[in-house]
Chains A and B, each alone.
Chain A
Amino acid sequence: MSDCFKSLRLELGFMTFTEEKLVEVKRLVSAYPDGKQKSALIPVLHLAQQEFGGWLSAETMDYVASLLQLDPIEVYEVATFYSMYNLKPVGRYLFEVCQTGPCMLRGSDDIIKYIGDKLGIKPGETTADGLFSLKTVECLGACGYAPMMQLGKHYREHLTKEKVDAIVDECRKNASSNN
């Protein structure tokens, strides 16, 4: 489904998975014994975040609760515990830059500052055009390839200022080509 369709569905409040994604939910639930479908909550929330605009609104969480036959509170409890769930809207490209010790030893402080200055935002903020968000995160298991960040599903490692420039350009290009 195209992005524009997706946002239309969101605006109209159609907070439901497509048929294809419902099949995926079924597959996730089938990993657990009967009656233990609550175990699928964390993976299903990942799917929901990916499908419904990169964050979890109360409506999204309620929808997931109904899908898995859980009380909404069971979903809120989980969504607020784990750092990968965004509880407010984020930019289309979320730069999650590691700031823990091993990355700090290899210059993550400078990279975080550089990204912030370049985009004109501080960690935790989103650019006015809604394209970029910057978030500092704790060790992502890439300490030997520092400094690094997560962008979507993948890691960007051995970051330099030049690499950051190239990543920002790449995102801008992608955004304008599939708008």
Chain B
Amino acid sequence: MGVKLLLDKAHIPGIRQYDVYRREGGYAAVEKAFKMSQVDVVEEVKKSGLRGRGGAGFPTGMKWSFLAKPEGVPRYLVCNADESEPGTFKDRYLMEFIPHILIEGLIVSSYALGSNRTYIYIRGEYAWIVDILEQAINEANANGWLGKNILGTGFDCQIYVQRGAGAYICGEETALLESLEGKRGNPRIKPPFPAVKGLWDCPTVVNNVETLAAIVPIINNGGDAYSKIGIGKSTGTKLISACGNINKPGVYEIDMTISVEEFIYSDEYCGGIPNGKKLKACIPGGSSVPILPANLLLKTAKGETRMMTYESLSDGGFATGSMMGSGGFIVLDEDQCVVRNTYTLARFYRHESCGQCSPCREGTGWMEKILHNIEHGKGKMSDIDLLWDIQRKIEGNTICPLGDAAAWPVAAAIRHFRDEFEWHVKNPQESQIRNFGLAHYADERPAVTPV
């Protein structure tokens, strides 16, 4: 069993309620942090090596130290609970079952950053979780952990929950801030970065739910202890939401020392592929990251065992690697169609593009149309090159990274599964009744010759 820091108490009955959470040692991190200076709390977080769990993996302590502190201007901490990246449902689990760990992490973080008003921006569809969070906030208030002059420290803090209304783009931090200001979720041009000009033009830190929850064990056990868990720069534990064709879909907390193979096949985690089928491919970090065929997933191009760490998952760059991303782990078995999967993702990004930049707005639309054609037996060989061309023209040419997020899955699918796309084009009728199958992608298995 690996180390668990966030979900270690998830199984305790009633842990959602304040009394139980407190009895199990909850809010000790707040007590401890309040005895430290704000700078020292930031230092602990730096020492921990914690990297943002929202997708980009940016070091949290460093981000906190960039926060501008002009005199007389309020600063804000905003918790990103938009969680809309396909394959990702870990923040939901944390908020639904252990809401107080987020509230506790938010109080400590608000103290460290000097935020007197802290917001949780949660995706609109998680409507029932708003009630759970508000209940937890009320309990924290009633027990003196929030409000004015908390525990006599002179620090005031209140936490508010704001619901979104259905828009993936509002997970991007500047779009989120626009939405929090009551506007359309159009990402802002950076710089200025939120650390200088964020919510209502004030200095702002935006962090993911899991990042902020991880502050609790970091303060409780110390940054050094946290940094000793894991391998290299992948310190601490990570929540992975696993879905697709596995026996046990769900949310798992891993310490970053296990291999991808163990994660997929061991009973402690995904429990293998159902019905004795073979692994075909996997998108290891949420829909935006490159899809990998089984052979490159389990071993790197150099033949090393691929580990569930930031570094190992990205080993080989985009040519032969992928990314940890948000931890949305999507598994495809031998019966799945990569073209169809790529098409549904392209449709997603077209739907979610905010429309501000033409490469993203037009490009996502074109990619969806072309993939629709190929998937439905109406594709041409030249379409595959056209797709490649479009994704290249989007990448790096947009205001926000949604453009890249839309381009990468298409690029990786063509890079690794080109023969499957070609088979669809050459076999327009057959591809409507059966899938391409496993071909050469599988690990340790003879190739199945496609017809």
Which A residues are within 8 Å of any B CB, using their own CB? 31-33, 36, 38-43, 45-46, 74, 77-78, 81-85, 99-102, 104-106, 137-146, 150, 153-154
Contact = CB atoms under 8 A, between A and B. Distances in A.
Q: How large is the interface on B (under 10, 10 to 19, 20 to 34, 35 or more residues)?
A: 35 or more
Contacts of B250: 144
A82 B330 contact: no
A15 to B, nearest CB: 20
B91 to A, nearest CB: 8
Contact of B185 (A81, A101, A150): A81
A84 B124 CA distance: 8
Contacts of A83: 165-167, 351
B344 A153 contact: no
B226 interface: no
Contacts of A145: 89, 249
B152 interface: no
Interface string B245-286: 100011100000000000000000000000000000001000
Contact of B244 (A105, A137, A153): A105
A11 B354 CA distance: 35
Contacts of A137: 166
Contacts of B125: 84, 140-141, 150
B24 interface: no
B345 interface: yes
A39 B87 CA distance: 29
Given A33-B200, A101-B86, A141-B126, A81 B162 contact: no
A41 B352 CA distance: 21
A178 to B, nearest CB: 21
A67 to B, nearest CB: 13
B163 A42 contact: yes
A84 B166 contact: yes
A31 B162 contact: yes
Given A82-B164, A138-B348, A42 B179 contact: yes
Interface of B: 74, 83-89, 92, 117, 119, 123-128, 160, 162-168, 179-185, 200, 241-245, 249-251, 283, 287, 328, 330, 332, 336, 340-341, 344-345, 347-348, 351-352, 354
Contact of B165 (A45, A138, A141, A142): A45
Contact of A101 (B166, B167, B242, B341): B341
Nearest to A99: B344
Contacts of A78: 182-184
Contacts of B251: 144
A82 B167 contact: yes
Contacts of A46: 124, 163, 165
B124 A82 contact: yes
Contacts of A77: 183-184
Contacts of B128: 153-154
A105 B184 contact: no
B341 A144 contact: no
Contact of B163 (A36, A43, A143): A43
A71 to B, nearest CB: 12
Contacts of B88: 141, 143
Contacts of B166: 82-85, 137
B200 A38 contact: no
A28 to B, nearest CB: 9
Contacts of B167: 81-83
23 contacts: A36-B200, A42-B162, A42-B179, A43-B163, A77-B183, A77-B184, A78-B183, A78-B184, A83-B165, A83-B167, A83-B351, A101-B344, A102-B87, A106-B245, A138-B348, A140-B125, A141-B89, A141-B92, A142-B89, A143-B86, A144-B251, A145-B89, A153-B128
Given A42-B182, A144-B89, A100 B348 contact: yes
A46 B84 CA distance: 19
Contacts of A84: 124-125, 165-166
Contacts of A82: 124, 164-167, 185
